[in-house]
Chains A and B, each alone.
Chain A
Amino acid sequence: MAAVQETVDKVKSIDVDAYKYGFVTDIESDKAEKGLNEDTVRFISAKKGEPEWLTEWRLDAYRRWLTMREPTWARVDYPKIDYQDLYYYSAPKSMSGPMSLDEVDPELLRTYEKLGIPLREREILAGVQGASTRVAVDAVFDSVSVATTFKAELAKAGVIFCPISEAVQSHPELVRKYMGTVVPVTDNYFATLNSAVYSDGSFVYIPPGVRCPMELSTYFRINEQNTGQFERTLIIADKGSYVSYLEGCTAPKRDENQLHAAVVELIALDDAEIKYSTVQNWYPGDSEGKGGIYNFVTKRGDCRGARSKISWTQVETGSAITWKYPSCILRGDESRGEFYSIAISNGRQQVDSGTKMLHLGRNTSSRIISKGISAGRSNNTYRGQVFAHRKATGARNFTNCDSLLIGNKCGAHTIPYIESRNANAIFEHEATTSKISDDQLFYCMQRGLSAEEATALIVNGFVRDVLQQLPMEFAVEAQKLISVSLEGSVG
């Protein structure tokens, strides 16, 4: 029908101009030599002044990585990555490590302002009223953390929020106890690579019984050319604590593909709750599929304690390729895992994303709501595993995956693996695929909305269940992002 045809035509002409974070910051940087070998690993470890156990841990990972093969099972297609043609460490030259904000290169502060992430606490406080909406930010620029806000105030509550490189120095016992226990060093090709060369990332520890007084957030920015970003995040919520954590990401427009292979580990002890929200807006490449980020990320949460809860919410609009399955290991009895996802693909983007809910403990429950939207010539795959162990009596899962297609050159795929080893586990799964009907579009247009406004409105309705899971400020941002991502997808 006509409206769909226009959509298809318009999608063909989609322009990277829609990506407004594509600028480059001109700043001198300190880089490791190109390529990867044991010296690179030692170089990174030395730069961070790491203890010997960690250097060895990295080297073990590197040696293991050499024996592994890149996974090919995901429904994504990309030219072979030359791992020797990448920089594995890049830091703004002016930065030798985290410092006070007054010492941070003003060029960097300007970059974050441009991205809408003010790092000066004074400015944040001036901008909003009431303390409840404050967000503490850890800003990671290429391979290093450049600033972390509200540290002092958080420390008062006993919350540790700092770059992981700093945590290695200041809280080695916590890092050593938990790092690699959720995503083992040998877990998969990209996680193992990350273990060898990870540069920085955030570390969070919430002490027993503490409700984190503000939202915590990390903002990732890849700037340097030919540089892989390998950050590592570790969040530990001790007994009875609560934290809500937000992650945002952008990168400049570049013709070359850039690799992002992060690892995120969450650990929730008895009665603790972690809410992890991501708005992923890496550069998606242009309409012909040139450039863009390869986002190969391993995110996993371990509900280690009884009655613990981990909730993942993600809004995925960027990246040329997304390979990502934020998962929950429901080990503690009565623990709960949630996964809420909106994945939008346009242009030539390829998304293979989903989750794993692994029910090991008794009376564990999980919920998966996934909304995939494909436009342009993109392919969007939901891949998810729900598993009940023999001992997971009383496990419950509810899964709902809906796909929406805009145009006739894209694909939407649903591949669930539902595996039950327990008669008293109850799994329910439903999935649908549909399109925005011309009747719906015409109805909205008859009321005065343009085709683009009508599409955005209908899509927002489609993803509403998930948007409601995001913290307020993030939900507004995500809603705008959805409109931008679909710009040019209708005539």
Chain B
Amino acid sequence: MSPQQRESAVTRVEAEPVVATVSVLKNEAELALADLFSKKRGLFIGSSEIALRREAAFARFAKSGLPSKRVEAWHYTDLRAALRIPLPIAEFPDNAARALARPCIEALRAADPQPVTRFVILDGIFDAELSTSHMPAGVSVTPTCNSLIAGEQRAVLAFEAGGLGENDPALNLNEAFSVSGVLIDIADGAMIDQPIEIVFLSSGAHRHAIYSRSSVRIGEGAVARIVERRCSNSSVGIQRNEALYLNLGDRAIVRHVAIAEADRADCIDIASTLLDLKEGSELTSTSLVHGGGLRRRQIFGRFNGPHARCSLRGVVLLGGKEHADTTIVMEHVAPNCESRETFNHIIDDEATGVFQGKVSVAPEAQKTDGKMKSRAILLSETASMNNKPELEIFADDVTCGHGATCGSLDDDQLFYVQSRGLPKAEAEALLLEGFAGEIILEIANEQTREVLMDDVRAWLSHRALRGN
């Protein structure tokens, strides 16, 4: 880096506007997306209300354009630079795609330590054949496309998603282009013991862009376990932009687990989770995320009723040249709610981790209790971590705080473990396993916990094999 470059790099906070005020579609990718939308707009399924929503969403996108690092919410993930050529939108999966997908789902079934109600979204389209056919009592399901064709209100609700993240450019594209996904309904008061797993799978049959929109409504007082799994079978680079709306009714209790398997370096994967929390509801979410070319997991949550609680915890494991961004916005608009975000990153090689977490508290959200913690361990000289924990507070009677740390493994701990007889590599693996375990061991279900810990151990031993 020349001194000039360094100077410009280090003076960024003052020198550069982080929020783009006016921007018109101008680069080739943006023009291609606009072209795609204008060609498709007459062909999309759905009621006129949905059509209007698509138009409005694309108009918002057109106004903002693809986010570059000048956009505060995308400061560390330059989608504009990464998405040079938008791929064509995925067609209905053909036989080749199905053939590639089937073994993946079979492998999942075989690995199941417990019975699971599974829904498969293959290349953005709900696949009934690969999904479970028998529903537990209290659970009903409709493919998003069927609901759109039937002109049902619940499809509108899934697209509307309580207005969550409506200024996010990626989510706007998702609303404009999604035609399928799955809409799940859990009846009021239902107690669903079996985990409900939604598998977002890309077949890898073609190079294309995948959009899907799914939702789960958890009725008043219902209790459910939901697993969100992102699998990629790609032998080719693809672009994914999929959204899941979790709508918790009053006093609903949800245990949520999200797993994102490693992606290819030429893949772009944006997964949006929208959380709508009503009075007295409770969501506990644990995630294990591997990296990809450009992976972004964004969570937009809002406390819409008092006394709701939400705890988001996650482990992110990155190596190679992977990039993973976790961005969370939790809006407190009702009083007496509690939010917790706890994320641990382990970053190796030349990988880059991003954690942005924003807790915003409206004037009426008195007695908000918000705590956020982000910790990162960097394992190589060339690994990077960017942390931006943000507080935006307009109510005075709150206790909010955040903490962020970043560094290498603790030398004293390492020495302590080695002094008990472990070689360095094993000592490191042990400490890293513990670091990930802090998050994962909080999962109530023992089998799920073990599956995730096995995943962590596999990653760590793979790392050891690579010769670190």
Check A-B contact in the complex, CB < 8 A: yes
Q: Which residues of B contact A122 (CB under 8 A)?
A: none
Docked-complex contact B391 and A406, CB < 8 angstroms: no
Is A27 an interface residue when CB atoms closer than 8 A count as contact? no
Q: Which residues of B contact A420 (CB under 8 A)?
A: 376, 378, 384-386, 406-407
Interface centre among A69, A188, A417 (most CB of B within 10 A): A417
Give residues 366-405 of B contacting A (CB, 8 Å).
376, 378-405
Docked-complex contact B19 and A73, CB < 8 angstroms: yes
User: Looking at the complex, which of A34-42, A222-230, A407-415 is the stretch in contact with chain B?
Assistant: A407-415
User: Looking at the complex, which of B10-18, B94-102, B270-278 is the stretch in contact with chain A?
Assistant: B10-18
Contact with B along A182-221 (1 / 0, CB 8 A): 0010011001000000000000000000000000000000
Our pick among A72, A358, A424, A435 for the contact of B397 (Cβ within 8 Å) is A435
- Shortest B419–chain A CB gap in Å is 22
Is A423 an interface residue when CB atoms closer than 8 A count as contact? yes
Is B21 an interface residue when CB atoms closer than 8 A count as contact? yes
- Shortest A69–chain B CB gap in Å is 7
- Shortest A368–chain B CB gap in Å is 13
Interface size classification for chain B = 35 or more
Give residues 39-69 of B contacting A (CB, 8 Å).
none
Our pick among B6, B18, B379 for the contact of A360 (Cβ within 8 Å) is B6
Docked-complex contact A429 and B393, CB < 8 angstroms: no
Docked-complex contact B395 and A408, CB < 8 angstroms: yes
Is B75 an interface residue when CB atoms closer than 8 A count as contact? yes
- Shortest A333–chain B CB gap in Å is 16
User: Looking at the complex, which of A91-99, A234-242, A383-391 is the stretch in contact with chain B?
Assistant: A383-391
A4 to B366, CA, bound (A): 13
Q: Which residues of A contact B75 (CB under 8 A)?
A: 417
Docked-complex contact B10 and A414, CB < 8 angstroms: no
Is A261 an interface residue when CB atoms closer than 8 A count as contact? no
Contact A422 to B17, CB < 8 A, known contacts A429-B403, A431-B401: no
Q: Which residues of A contact B13 (CB under 8 A)?
A: 325, 356, 383, 385, 417
Contact with B along A401-439 (1 / 0, CB 8 A): 001011111111111111111111111111111110000
Is B412 an interface residue when CB atoms closer than 8 A count as contact? no
Q: Which residues of A contact B387 (CB under 8 A)?
A: 416-419, 427, 429
Is B113 an interface residue when CB atoms closer than 8 A count as contact? no
A358 to B401, CA, bound (A): 24
A406 to B393, CA, bound (A): 12
Q: Which residues of A contact B72 (CB under 8 A)?
A: 73
Is B408 an interface residue when CB atoms closer than 8 A count as contact? yes
Docked-complex contact A187 and B14, CB < 8 angstroms: yes
- Shortest B385–chain A CB gap in Å is 5
Our pick among B363, B399, B405 for the contact of A434 (Cβ within 8 Å) is B399
Our pick among B19, B381, B406 for the contact of A72 (Cβ within 8 Å) is B19
A300 to B211, CA, bound (A): 46
Q: Which residues of B contact A179 (CB under 8 A)?
A: none
Q: Which residues of A contact B380 (CB under 8 A)?
A: 423
- Shortest A398–chain B CB gap in Å is 10
Contact with A along B15-29 (1 / 0, CB 8 A): 111110100000000
Q: Which residues of B contact A482 (CB under 8 A)?
A: none
- Shortest A181–chain B CB gap in Å is 10
- Shortest A370–chain B CB gap in Å is 12
Our pick among B390, B392, B404 for the contact of A427 (Cβ within 8 Å) is B404
A383 to B14, CA, bound (A): 10
Q: Which residues of B contact A417 (CB under 8 A)?
A: 13, 75, 386-388
Is A108 an interface residue when CB atoms closer than 8 A count as contact? no
Docked-complex contact B10 and A329, CB < 8 angstroms: yes
Docked-complex contact B384 and A415, CB < 8 angstroms: no
Our pick among A188, A416, A427, A428 for the contact of B388 (Cβ within 8 Å) is A416
Contact A430 to B17, CB < 8 A, known contacts A420-B376, A420-B385: no
- Closest residue of chain A to B401 (Cβ to Cβ) is A432
Contact A416 to B404, CB < 8 A, known contacts A411-B394, A422-B378: yes
A423 to B75, CA, bound (A): 21
- Shortest A1–chain B CB gap in Å is 8
Contact A187 to B399, CB < 8 A, known contacts A413-B392, A418-B404, A419-B386: no
- Shortest A55–chain B CB gap in Å is 25
A418 to B388, CA, bound (A): 6
Q: Which residues of A contact B446 (CB under 8 A)?
A: none
A433 to B332, CA, bound (A): 15
Q: Which residues of A contact B407 (CB under 8 A)?
A: 420, 423-427
A201 to B36, CA, bound (A): 58
Docked-complex contact B406 and A430, CB < 8 angstroms: no
Is B129 an interface residue when CB atoms closer than 8 A count as contact? no
Our pick among A72, A418, A423, A435 for the contact of B398 (Cβ within 8 Å) is A435
Q: Which residues of B contact A415 (CB under 8 A)?
A: 388, 390
- Closest residue of chain A to B405 (Cβ to Cβ) is A428
Interface centre among B15, B379, B393, B394 (most CB of A within 10 A): B393
Is A448 an interface residue when CB atoms closer than 8 A count as contact? no
Docked-complex contact A418 and B406, CB < 8 angstroms: yes
Q: Which residues of A contact B390 (CB under 8 A)?
A: 413-416
Q: Which residues of A contact B403 (CB under 8 A)?
A: 428-431
- Shortest A67–chain B CB gap in Å is 14
- Shortest B79–chain A CB gap in Å is 19
- Closest residue of chain A to B347 (Cβ to Cβ) is A423
Docked-complex contact A412 and B381, CB < 8 angstroms: no
Is A298 an interface residue when CB atoms closer than 8 A count as contact? yes
Is A106 an interface residue when CB atoms closer than 8 A count as contact? no
- Closest residue of chain B to A417 (Cβ to Cβ) is B388
Q: Which residues of B contact A79 (CB under 8 A)?
A: none
- Shortest A248–chain B CB gap in Å is 24
- Closest residue of chain A to B375 (Cβ to Cβ) is A428
Docked-complex contact B383 and A423, CB < 8 angstroms: yes
Q: Which residues of A contact B406 (CB under 8 A)?
A: 418, 420, 425-427
A426 to B375, CA, bound (A): 11
Is A461 an interface residue when CB atoms closer than 8 A count as contact? no
Docked-complex contact A433 and B399, CB < 8 angstroms: yes
Is A71 an interface residue when CB atoms closer than 8 A count as contact? yes
Docked-complex contact A429 and B10, CB < 8 angstroms: no
A427 to B404, CA, bound (A): 8
- Shortest B178–chain A CB gap in Å is 32
- Shortest B389–chain A CB gap in Å is 7
Q: Which residues of B contact A425 (CB under 8 A)?
A: 406-407
A420 to B351, CA, bound (A): 12
A383 to B387, CA, bound (A): 13
A291 to B405, CA, bound (A): 42
Give residues 203-226 of B contacting A (CB, 8 Å).
none
Q: Which residues of B contact A408 (CB under 8 A)?
A: 363, 394-397
Docked-complex contact B393 and A411, CB < 8 angstroms: yes
Our pick among A4, A71, A191, A421 for the contact of B396 (Cβ within 8 Å) is A4
A182 to B12, CA, bound (A): 14
A452 to B376, CA, bound (A): 43
Q: Which residues of A contact B398 (CB under 8 A)?
A: 405, 433-435
Q: Which residues of B contact A406 (CB under 8 A)?
A: 396
Q: Which residues of B contact A73 (CB under 8 A)?
A: 16-19, 72
A62 to B11, CA, bound (A): 20
- Shortest B1–chain A CB gap in Å is 8
Q: Which residues of B contact A414 (CB under 8 A)?
A: 389-391, 402
Q: Which residues of B contact A429 (CB under 8 A)?
A: 387, 389, 402-405
Contact with B along A351-390 (1 / 0, CB 8 A): 0000010101000000000000000000000010101011
Given contacts A389-B6, A432-B400, 11 further A-B contacts (CB under 8 A): A73-B18, A188-B14, A385-B12, A390-B381, A413-B391, A415-B390, A419-B386, A420-B385, A422-B378, A426-B406, A431-B401
- 16 sampled A-B residue pairs with Cβ under 8 A: A4-B397, A360-B6, A408-B395, A415-B390, A416-B404, A417-B75, A422-B381, A423-B408, A424-B381, A424-B408, A426-B406, A427-B407, A429-B405, A430-B401, A434-B399, A435-B396
Task: Please name the 4 residue pairs, one residue from A and one from B, whose CB atoms are nearest each other, closest first.
Answer: A423-B378, A426-B407, A418-B387, A405-B396
Q: Which residues of B contact A (CB under 8 A)?
A: 6-7, 10-19, 21, 72, 75, 363, 376, 378-408
